[in-house]
Amino acid sequence: MKGYVYILASQRNGTLYTGVTTNLPRRLYEHQNDLTPGFTTRYGVKTLVWFEEHDLATDAIAREKAIKNWPRKWKLDRIEAMNPDWQDIAYYLHGL
């Protein structure tokens, strides 16, 4: 089963949230519609700025754990490399 690691942001260089899921479109919908109370709802973190697909969900989980231990600057650099304008890239999800 595929897995996805993703980073949401409240705004450019704002609050970041790193998550993992097997169904990224569904999980993003949950975040954007405040269906799961917690960090993202509390801090308004709803814009998908980066994601990575993995062939195995276990690989995605391991990657998420690694990313959560990265310094903030590394995360910002990763986002800037994939999405320099910090656009909401949720439209890429139509093919998933």
Enter the pTM of the model.
0.94
Digit-coded pLDDT (tens) for 5-39: 999 999 999 999 999 999 999 999 999 999 988 99
Average pLDDT, integer, range 68-83: 96
Residue 95, H or E segment? none
Domain count, the chain: 1
Predicted pLDDT of residue 94:
72
Answer left, alpha or beta for residue 13, where phi above 0 means left and psi between -120 and 50 means alpha. Answer: left
Residue 19, H or E segment? strand 16-21
Average pLDDT, integer, range 57-69: 98
48: domain range? 3-95
CATH of the domain at 83: 3.40.1440.10
